[in-house]
């Protein structure tokens, strides 16, 4: 191909691209993804599908098929909305080191691991942002390193439906636990209905992109 530097190829779009100014899905070539999109005119895409790598890689913001899924939905943990796994828990006082029973079992079970940080949030928060996510003060936003390190962690897991945490929690009605890992955060929402202005370039890893009827260029990468 005559390219000596992969970084140069990415930076200058030499791994391929596609243009569209109609409402038509752009799909990358075999073994590739869309790594950047430049909007030549104001655009409101209707499809933006990440790789959905689960625990094998990072998630990217998305335009998902549904905008009404709540925190404890099992199949929408690919755009940093509800961690790697989420589940409602019983409305009861739970001491540090006591069993927390998950209403939704992780599949596969390896999504939950000792050492993971958790967030206790309102279970009715949805991916559209119509009901915002509120993090309970009992599970502070994690600071992963440094002298101010904080957060609540998993200290035991039975591989099915019970975890133990290193701090007490007192879940109220319809609260859920979000499990964070190296690839999955929390709090992001779907980009459905978002208009992207002319001249903006967004970056990520997507397998499909459908613009509105306005010019856009999608760039490919491995």
Same domain, 113 and 44: no
Same domain, 81 and 105: yes
Same domain, 87 and 160: yes
**Residue 77 confidence (pLDDT):** 77
**Residue 13 confidence (pLDDT):** 64
Q: Residue 128: which of 177, 88, 175, 71 has the closest Cα?
A: 71
Same domain, 150 and 106: yes
Q: Which helix (H) or strand (E) holds 11?
A: helix 6-11
**Residue 140 confidence (pLDDT):** 97
Same domain, 213 and 180: no
Same domain, 95 and 182: yes
Judge whether 108 lies within some domain. Answer: yes
Peptide bond into 125 cis (omega under 30): no
Same domain, 77 and 115: yes
CA distance 115 to 199: 42
**Residue 195 confidence (pLDDT):** 97
Judge whether 6 lies within some domain. Answer: no
**Residue 52 confidence (pLDDT):** 78
Judge whether 93 lies within some domain. Answer: yes
Give the pLDDT of the chain (222 residues) as one tens digit per residue. Answer: 555 566 656 666 689 999 999 999 999 999 999 999 999 999 999 999 988 776 667 888 999 766 778 888 766 777 899 999 999 999 999 999 999 999 999 988 999 999 999 999 999 999 888 999 999 999 999 999 999 999 999 999 999 999 999 999 999 988 999 999 999 999 999 999 999 999 999 999 999 999 999 999 999 999
Please, are residues 114 and 155 in contact by the beta-carbon 8 Å criterion? yes
CA distance 71 to 125: 6
105: exposed, middle or buried (Cβ count in 10 Å: 0-12, 13-18, 19+) = middle
**Residue 151 confidence (pLDDT):** 97
Judge whether 221 lies within some domain. Answer: yes
Q: Domain tally for the chain? A: 2
Judge whether 7 lies within some domain. Answer: no
Same domain, 182 and 81: yes
Please, are residues 125 and 178 in contact by the beta-carbon 8 Å criterion? no
Same domain, 94 and 147: yes
Query: Can you give the C-alpha Rg of the chain in angstroms?
Result: 20
The boundaries of the domain holding residue 169 are 70-187
Same domain, 118 and 49: no
**Residue 7 confidence (pLDDT):** 65
Q: What is the pTM of this model?
A: 0.87
């Amino acid at each position: 191909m005559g390219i000596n530097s992969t970084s140069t190829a990415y930076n200058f779009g030499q791994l391929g691209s596609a243009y569209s100014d109609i409402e038509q899905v752009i799909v990358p070539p075999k073994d590739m993804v869309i790594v950047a999109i430049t909007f030549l005119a104001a655009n409101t895409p209707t499809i933006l599908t990440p790789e959905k790598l689960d625990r094998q890689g990072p998630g990217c913001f998305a335009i998902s098929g549904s905008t009404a899924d709540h925190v404890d939905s099992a199949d929408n943990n690919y755009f940093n909305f509800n961690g790697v796994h989420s589940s409602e828990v019983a409305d009861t006082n739970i001491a540090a080191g006591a069993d927390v029973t998950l209403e939704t079992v992780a599949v596969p079970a390896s999504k939950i691991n000792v050492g993971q940080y958790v967030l206790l949030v309102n279970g009715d928060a949805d991916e559209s942002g119509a009901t915002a996510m509120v993090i309970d003060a009992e599970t502070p936003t994690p600071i992963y390193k440094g002298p101010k390190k904080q957060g609540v962690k998993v200290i035991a897991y039975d591989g099915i439906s019970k975890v133990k945490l290193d701090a007490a929690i007192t879940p109220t009605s319809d609260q859920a636990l979000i499990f964070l890992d190296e690839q999955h955060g929390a709090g992001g929402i779907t980009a459905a209905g978002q208009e992207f202005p002319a001249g903006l370039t967004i970056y990520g890893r997507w397998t499909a992109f459908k613009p509105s009827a306005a010019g856009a260029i999608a760039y490919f990468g491995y």
